[in-house]
Amino acid sequence: MELDTNNHSVFLLYYHLVLVTKYRRQVIDEEISEFAKITFERIAEPYRITLVEWNHEKDHIHILFKAQPKTELTKFINAYKSTSSRLIKRDFPRVKQSLWKEMFWSKSFCLLTTGDAPIDVIKKYIQNQGNNHK
């Protein structure tokens, strides 16, 4: 296990984020998932957040990421949801037609710390989420 550092501290902060589409609409496919993932990585950079693992189902995504102690997680998550919603509806007309003017993501989200679970167990869980319903 390798610890992260900054000027004044040593830490290891992993988070598991689950985002669900509005009304659990079944609209996430491989192409939209990859687009959402790239958007996540781009928006995460200034927040000093690192993507570790990504997977999706038709109506939600699982994200495992690392963050710094001072990262404003709610601010980041809301920025990601807002930006990715706008870009997905812009670049994927089939989604825009099914959502009208609504946000792509539900207003709520689930954010969990990984606690005592070994990171390899969490990675395996997220990887297997995409295989459970195929």
In this prediction, what percent of the chain has a pLDDT beyond 70? 87
How many C-alpha atoms does 103 have within 13 Å on its Cβ side?
A: 16
Per-residue pLDDT, 133: 47
The average confidence (pLDDT) of the chain is 87
Q: Taking a C-beta distance cutoff of 8 angstroms, is the pair 17, 77 a contact?
A: yes
Instruction: Please compute the mean of the pLDDT values over residues 76-92 and round it to a whole number.
Output: 94
pLDDT digit string, tens, across residues 95-123: 866 655 678 999 999 999 876 666 777 77
Judge if pTM exceeds 0.85: no
pLDDT digit string, tens, across residues 14-51: 999 999 999 899 999 999 999 999 999 999 999 999 99
Report CA-CA distances (Å) from 8 to 4, 69, 70, 89, 115.
11, 11, 12, 42, 23
Question: The domain 9-129: what is its CATH number?
Answer: 3.30.70.1290
Per-residue pLDDT, 134: 44
